[in-house]
Amino acid sequence: MIPIASSVRVWIATGHTDMRKGMHGLALQVQQSLKRDPNAGDLYVFRGRTGSLVKIVWHDGLGTSLYAKRLDRGRFTWPLATDGVVAISASQMACMLEGIDWRNPQATWRPNAVG
């Protein structure tokens, strides 16, 4: 798991990305398309065309890491915008990686009484 400090920001690259790209290609996309510094320590999340695969690029101060997750069933919830980035919190990213709709997470129902 990615150790996320409170100062780290999570950015979702809207639209879809070519998932053949590795860490260097995605870092270059952060720099050129998103106009952000890929070495600033923020997390950048990219989603493929089918929506079942995400890649996360993160520079921890020592080097760049690339994390990937593919859902067996379903798709990752993604913003509708086709261009730019959207900032989300670390807890929203955790929901997203578990396949939960991070825009409107629902609490599970709990009974009021035992009997």
Domain residue extents for the chain: 10-82+90-97
Q: What is the pLDDT of residue 1?
A: 56
Query: Is the pLDDT confidence value at 10 over 70?
Result: yes
- Please, is 12 exposed, middle or buried when counting C-beta atoms within 10 Å of its C-beta (0-12, 13-18, 19+)? buried
Q: What is the pLDDT of residues 20-42, one digit of tens each?
A: 999 999 999 999 989 999 999 99
**CA 115/CA 112 separation, integer angstroms:** 9
State mean pLDDT over 46-74.
92
